[in-house]
Structure 1
Amino acid sequence: MNKTLAQWLSHLETSHSNGLIDMGLERVGEVKKRMGLDPSCPLITVAGTNGKGSVCSFLTQIYTQAGFKTGTLTSPHLLKFNERIAVNSQPVSDEAIVAAFERIEAARGEISLTYFEFNTLAAVDVFIREQVDVMILEVGLGGRLDAVNVFDADVAVVTSVDLDHQSYLGDTVEQVAFEKAGVFRSGKPAICGQNPPPQSLVKHAAAIGAPLLLSGEDFAYSKLENQQWSFHFHPRQGLGFDTDYRRNRNALPIPALRGNYQIQNAACALSAIECLYLILPVDLGAIKRGLLLAANPGRFQVLPGRPLTVLDVGHNPHAARALRQNLMALPFAENRIAVFSMLSDKDIDGVLEIVKDQFDSWYIAPLDMPRGMDVDALRKKLHTQGIEQIEEYPHIADAYRAALAGASENDRIIVFGSFHTVAEVMDLLQQG
């Protein structure tokens, strides 16, 4: 019997013997080969601890506005699996994904694949059949051993590097950086949005002969006083560009995505666009429209109405620092309320230490999944950080309802800690 998409996803969550994560490229690479999945269009791979989704959104909207058919793979999804596989920013249909899953199933034979490996192969299969002009693939975890890395990038971006997923990527920033630099390819531009860059990333790029473009050296931005900014692309000699290659993109609008760091993410995206300019030329109008149309739900997403409510999927210290900066830039709030939960394998102590001074009260609830922290563990973590103003609820939706019911229009509610935390509130809001 043919499976529906929901049945397929339920099957994939339990079918692979090693669970949802099983790093390595041999199995997925063999199935890719059997399926003949060899993209003929330019391919951009985006890795990094934070900022990947924003860079993918900027690239998607700008290329779409320039008239190119654009395929984008992102993860995880918030409400529907289809969000992960989009053409011109629109999620593809259940039927297209199921058909791709069936082709993967027929090709894999004895090879077991994880949920994310099915996801990655399906996306590229759909994009090839849709005959897209450019593919944008967001790395799921790390880079070197991530399923996305079975496809060779024409341009690779590493947005930022910090500690996350230490059990898979290592306990130091240099170890994590080496894993992320694994998406670089010999002779193909590699972009790093972090300056100074980790030395392991620089050394790996040099070792394989990948021209490394660095923020602040080969590309930069300057903010103007009138809510505009300029982008400057001036690669150093020896990176494969003409010796006098320079481009300035002036009078750009502040991106629709909230947060000061989004201009840095936009600069990474524009650098990738410059690297492919001779193949995929993009005019200034498309860039301006794309910056204003870019959307990345759940990333410091401000909801309409009062009290001021923000959704943020940040779940590691790097994201927590960005969240804190954004919160400090908001107008005064009489009472600052956190609706919060995290997964047990995340650095909850590091996150709480960074943001605890930005909240007056905490509404907590467990996440209903194997990796979710129960309410007792959450409470103990908050107490360890000296947080005492805590209310407990059985579900995140209940915590959010209670926070909303008790808040005045001059208060502020921040829902954060995990994609799953935000997704539960978004699902509640969608139900009306």
Structure 2
Amino acid sequence: MNLQHWLQRIEQQHPKSIDMGLDRVRAVADRMGLGRPARRVATVAGSNGKGSTVAFIEAIAAASGLRVGAYTSPHLLAYNERVRIDGADASDAALVEAFEAVEAAREAITLTYFEYGTLAALWLFERADLDLAVLEVGLGGRLDAVNLVDPDVAVITTVDLDHQDWLGPDREAIGTEKVGIARPWTPLVLGEDDPPSSVLGHAYAIGASAIRAGSDYRFGRDDSGAGAGAVEGAGAGWWWREPGFELALPLPRMAAPAQLRNAATAIAALRALDLDIDDGAWARGVAAAQVPGRLQRFERDGVEVLVDVGHNPQAARALAEWLRAAPAARTIAVYGALADKDAAGVVEAIAPCVDSWHLAGIADAGSRGREARTLAAALANTAAADGSPHDDVAGALSVALAQARTGDRVLAFGSFHVAGAALAWLAAGDSEAGAGGAV
């Protein structure tokens, strides 16, 4: 079977898309004889910022000459994006070989799509002689398949309301699930200045060494370019410091304000691992890190097009902060949301920055998909109540761009499915026109 056949097979192999728990996946991992995926492991959980934080860790370590593997999810355009080794997406052939290894070991045990993919990634990493594996949690942390591996550093970027059906009704309950990736007497890096008490309480209870933003490490903008311990060639931008160590760094290529915190969290994680990172690698890695679909910018006939994966109120608030700082003549939103997301909360957070709405259906997400008219009903009492419904993202984007004038902005956001469809539609247009893409 080719990769597409395998993906179709593993998607249908388990009766549920989500089946939290480690017993089944641990049993298969034992049969596969899986050991450590790398000499050092960093596991990253959080409501928002996981993928970007993984990218910063990966880019800085790679810039220092380390051999790095990264496992992330979901993907935007191709499944291969989920498994990277030395900065390159896994090939179809490598993924097929890994899936065959999982299939041979699982026998009668059923695995979800994510569990299958996690075992395949760990199998590939173990064979790649990696210095560092960076593993992104799929959902929660405590019962996520990634939590099979004992990390050398655990990272929690943020804790906010998301996946409440699975993780609990409030930040404290959700924090309890996410801090399940922590291990006794190992570093736990926290990206928030004020994490839930459940996170701190569990860390202290098991003896994990909590490293907190705003306390154990600090960061901030510095447009002067000054600062003790400046990295050669970093230039003006921002600073990061902990007692006895300081960096002056270039601003990240990724534009959202939250990326400064994600980069700072990544640096704290690498410092906690006590890896041999050369001085210049901090700046080179921060400058090089990039993840598709995070305020990714395009230009179409004088209209700025932004694509962002933000899908919960916390992400929408961060997105609104950027939009306020970079005003356009008009902002036209193309918004789609999965059925289990707080669509009204997202709209409320960003509505002051949006002039008109187009609502896009999501049909490729199985039972979690939501048609545009169903979404419109859920938003009947919000600023998006008059939004035009469209069957899919391509249709919504096409109409939004037709309505836009020079100086306007079109924002496509609300889900990885929306971002992926938008990027595919924009790439198809570039191909047909022979034009350039992102700016």
Fold similarity call, TM over 0.5: yes
Aligned match of 1:82: 80
Whole-angstrom distance in 2 between the partners of 1:384 and 1:334: 26
Residue 423 of structure 1: SS of its match in structure 2? Answer: helix
Q: Gaps (5+ residues) in structure 2?
A: 225-235, 430-439
Q: What is the aligned partner in structure 1 of residue 70 from structure 2?
A: 72
Task: Confirm or deny that 1:185 pairs with 2:183.
Answer: yes
1:25-104 matches, within 5 Å, as 25-39=22-36, 40-104=38-102
| 1:114-159 Cα shifts (integer Å, max 9, x gaps) | 1101111111111111111110000000000000000000000000
Aligned 8 A contact 2:343 2:379 in 1: no
1:397 paired with 2:381, answer: no
2:47 aligned partner, one-letter code: T
Q: Is 1:410 aligned to residue 407 of structure 2?
A: yes
The TM-score with structure 1 as length reference comes to: 0.93
Structure 1 residue aligned with 2:281, among 254, 277, 286?
A: 286
Q: Residue 238 of structure 2 corresponds to which residue in structure 1?
A: 229
Return the offset for 1:375. 2.2
How many angstroms apart in 2 are the aligned matches of 1:398 and 1:430?
A: 15
**How many residues are aligned here?**
414
The aligned residue for residue 346 of structure 1 is 341
| TM-score, reference length from structure 2 | 0.92
Q: For the residues of structure 2 that align with 1:82 and 1:261, how far apart are their CA atoms? A: 26
Partner Cα distance (2:218, 2:298) in 1: 31
Cross-structure match for 1:242: none
Which consecutive aligned stretches of 4+ in structure 1 deviate over 4 angstroms post-superposition? Answer: none
Q: Aligned partner of 1:232: which letter?
A: R
CA offset at residue 380 of structure 1? 2.2
1: CA distance, partners of 2:335 / 2:194: 33
Query: How big is each residue's C-alpha offset from its partner over 1:397-416, in whole Å with a ceiling of 9 and x where there is no partner?
Result: 01101111221121010001
The aligned residue for residue 326 of structure 1 is: 322
* 1:181-239 residue CA offsets vs partner (Å, 9 max, x unmatched): 000011110011112121111111111111111111111113212341111123xxxxx
2:156 is matched with which residue? Answer: 158
CA deviation vs aligned residue, 1:349-400 (integer Å, no higher than 9, x gap):
1111111121111112211143222222222233311435422322210110
Residue 114 (structure 1) aligned to one of 97, 112, 126: 112
The letter of the residue matching 2:13 is: S
Deviations 1:267-322 (A, max 9, x none): 11001111122xx2112211111111111111111224531111111111111111
My pick for the range that moved more, 420-429 or 372-381, is 372-381
Distance 2:299 2:126 in 1: 38
> Percent of aligned pairs with the same residue?
43
Residue 424 of structure 1 pairs with residue 421 of structure 2: yes
- CA deviations on 1:39-62 (whole Å, 9 max, x unpaired) are 151000000000101100001111
- Inter-partner Cα distance in structure 2 for 1:409 and 1:79: 29
Match of 1:264 in 2: 261
1:128 pairs with one of 122, 126, 129: 126
Alignment of 1:192-203 (within 5 A): 192-203=190-201
SS at match of 2:126: helix
The one-character-per-residue Cα deviations of 1:321-362 (angstroms, maximum 9, x if unpaired) are 11111111113x222100111111101111111111211111
In the other structure, the counterpart of 2:369 is 372
Q: Which amino acid aligns with 1:399?
A: A
Q: Is the 8 A contact 2:348 2:383 kept in 1?
A: no
Gaps of 5+ in 1: 235-245
The code of the aligned residue for 1:324 comes to A
